[in-house]
Chains A and B, each alone.
Chain A
Amino acid sequence: MYTIRRFEESVRELFTLGLIRGSTHVYIGEEAVAAGACSALGTDDYIVSTHRGHGHCLAKGGKLYPMMAELLGKETGYCRGKGGSMHIADPSIGILGAVGIVGSGLPLAVGAALSSKTLGDGRVTIAFFGDGASNQGTFHECLNLASVLKLPLVFICENNLYAITVACNLSTSVADISDRAAGYSMPGVTVDGNDVEKVYRTAKAAVDDARAGGGPTLIEAKTYRQEGHWIGDPQVYRKKAEVEDWIKKDPVKAYGKILTDTDAFTAKELKDIRAGVDKELEKAIEKAKKDDFLSPDKVTEDVYS
């Protein structure tokens, strides 16, 4: 969670400096969802991520250097600089890719789970998406399809309370998105998305059930996007006091406190771990900055196999 937080803070800085371009969405405040959910998966299991996907990729085992190189557009990035922030993929560790269109990743996740069922490979897929995507047709089609085919799939809705600028309660017919699971004959659970252990336990139960042939589950993790939708979002649609209230419930700080309060780690151990992350991140950024862009004469490579 700390790694994701620091990665995103660096992304914000590099974006402001003009080194990262385009549409870049940071995950600050939502780290407990990716960290808790991906901890319930093995390396071979699949995830499908979203436009706000850096956290999912890091939690699933994505490496800082090729991720940062991709965001900086470099040849050494995960996608050779062709994907950028919204399209990071590493199928070798089950990251089937981030998707830039809201709700568009859900069918891909259904397909990955269908492969696992057909091939009998025992893998489980997690589909990450937001509250906005739960109003797309794909969400409803995919819950139905996954349910009738009884696929090893866990739908994780990160309800960060805003679909771009529109509040969830103004755009969504239910208070709890997990209620929608009932329409598709699957379990629906709402969990505190800022509590990493609760997310983990909920995801683990759903993943285990899916792996055992029990079919899909819909988990709604209620969390909060502490930053704007995009870097530079003036955020006219919400009050500062609301943001401040949620910052008080910051998942990274909260879990750090739990770890030291319960003597899982001493304050020094935690500080050292975090210093190690900072150092590794700094090295990744410096190295990626020096890398080359893909030669423009290779721009049409990878269109076809």
Chain B
Amino acid sequence: MTTYSEAIAAAIDIEMEKDPSIIVMGEDIGPQGGVFGTTRGLYDKYGCGRIIDTPISENSFVGAAVGAAMTGLRPIAEIMYIDFITLAADQIINQAAKVRYMYGGKVKVPMVIRTQGGAGKGNAGHHSQSFEVLFCHIPGLKVVMPSTPSDAAGLLMSSIADDNAVIFIEHKLLYNTEGTVSYETIPLGKADIKRTGDHITIVAVSHMVIKALEAAGKLKGQGISCEVIDPMTLSPLDTATIAGSVKKTGNLLIVHESVKAAGTGAYIAAEVENEVFDYLDGPIGILGAKFCPIPYAHPLESEVIPQTEDIIEKVKTILGRNR
């Protein structure tokens, strides 16, 4: 069995062995191996020329990764907490996402920005946020959020090989989860059906996949059959897999950790609505975080983030109402 963080380090290693143009840049990723262990062992193997511990200067080292990607390297820039990505917003939104378009297709930007987000460990307002949907809004970026060790490895290998800027968002509660990892590439833009079912489709993002599967297990005992879909790539979104499922179940619930307002659920619902509207038994349900910064104290943090019980309750409400 391999943990999510070990799978990430191993996937980077596999790609770096194959391609000498891959470098990794970020804070504490060198001898330390990253604060979550996601680059462990790489510094010893590849040295400071390819595993670059940067100053705490997110905007400039992310921008340097963009410039390096434009000139022959395939950089992986790590932002320790997604909360710090706002410091690099200019280089991500105005450069990484746009240079290819603005320059009429004359450059490629083959880079990955790896980062992690989410709540659940009491890290409070500056170390717990979920920003994925901000990047789904930006043309030119791809957004990936894996929920299992094997998905993390396979999607990361594809992200590194991709010629576009990929925002690869891990979840702090997933790093110690274990699984069997095949290290086979998983194509970007394809969703995965994590559990099949007939009564309702639950689209769950990142760590919410774990909670949705837990909810589906409990609901099965109550005679409710849930299909759980992990989009894995949020941009571009695999609307076909989601729509195909909803056509079968007639009900859709989207669960995520970003705040509900203008959140990931609103985005996914808008992307699939045209295709599924005639098949829906009722309105699309969305569960997201309360419109509130992430608080520190455990009961408060749990209150803001959707929990397994919230998913169970919401499924019952949707099915009760729609039946």
Among B70-78, B149-157, B226-234, B312-320, the stretch that binds chain A is B70-78
> Quick one: which of A224-257 are within 8 Å of B by CB?
none
Known contacts A104-B91, A141-B55, A144-B55; A97/B63 CB under 8 A: no
Chain A: minimal CB distance from B111 (Å):
9
CB-CB nearest in chain B for A46: B71
Chain A: minimal CB distance from B104 (Å):
4
> Quick one: which of B53-72 are within 8 Å of A by CB?
54-55, 57, 59-72
Q: Inside 8 A of B65's CB, which chain A residues have their CB?
A: 111
Is the beta-carbon distance between B67 and A115 smaller than 8 angstroms?
A: yes
Known contacts A101-B94, A108-B66, A137-B59; A96/B71 CB under 8 A: yes
Is the beta-carbon distance between A115 and B66 smaller than 8 angstroms?
A: no
> Quick one: which of A97-151 are within 8 Å of B by CB?
97, 99-101, 104, 106-116, 118-119, 121, 137-138, 141-142, 144-145, 148-149
Is the beta-carbon distance between A104 and B102 smaller than 8 angstroms?
A: no
> Quick one: which of A267-305 are within 8 Å of B by CB?
301-305
Q: Inside 8 A of A112's CB, which chain B residues have their CB?
A: 67-68, 70-71
Chain A: minimal CB distance from B16 (Å):
13
> Chain A CB within 10 Å — which of B52, B63, B64 has the most?
B64
Q: Does A200 interact with chain B (Cβ within 8 Å)?
A: no
Known contacts A101-B90, A304-B164; A107/B67 CB under 8 A: yes
Q: Inside 8 A of A79's CB, which chain B residues have their CB?
A: 102-104, 106
Q: Inside 8 A of B91's CB, which chain A residues have their CB?
A: 104, 107
1/0 contact trace for A144-167 toward B, CB 8 Å?
A: 110011000000000000000000
> Quick one: which of A39-93 are within 8 Å of B by CB?
46, 48, 77-83, 87, 89-91
Is the beta-carbon distance between A142 and B60 smaller than 8 angstroms?
A: yes
Q: How many residues of A contact B (CB 8 A)?
A: 46
Q: Does B35 interact with chain A (Cβ within 8 Å)?
A: no
CB-CB nearest in chain B for A48: B67
Is the beta-carbon distance between B107 and A89 smaller than 8 angstroms?
A: yes
How many angstroms from the CA of A29 to the CA of B232 in the assembled complex?
Answer: 53
Q: Does B127 interact with chain A (Cβ within 8 Å)?
A: no
Q: Does B163 interact with chain A (Cβ within 8 Å)?
A: yes
Chain B: minimal CB distance from A185 (Å):
13
Q: Inside 8 A of B102's CB, which chain A residues have their CB?
A: 79, 82-83, 87, 89, 97
How many angstroms from the CA of A101 to the CA of B73 in the assembled complex?
Answer: 24
Known contacts A80-B105, A111-B70, A303-B101; A104/B63 CB under 8 A: yes
Please provide the 3 A-B residue pairs with the shortest distance between their CB atoms, ordered closest to farther. A111-B67, A107-B63, A79-B104
In the assembled complex, 29 residue pairs joining A and B whose CB atoms fall closer than 8 Å, in A order, are A48-B67, A78-B104, A81-B104, A82-B102, A87-B103, A91-B71, A104-B63, A106-B63, A107-B59, A107-B67, A111-B63, A111-B68, A111-B75, A112-B67, A115-B68, A118-B49, A118-B50, A119-B72, A119-B73, A121-B72, A138-B60, A145-B55, A145-B61, A148-B55, A302-B101, A304-B100, A304-B164, A305-B100, A305-B164
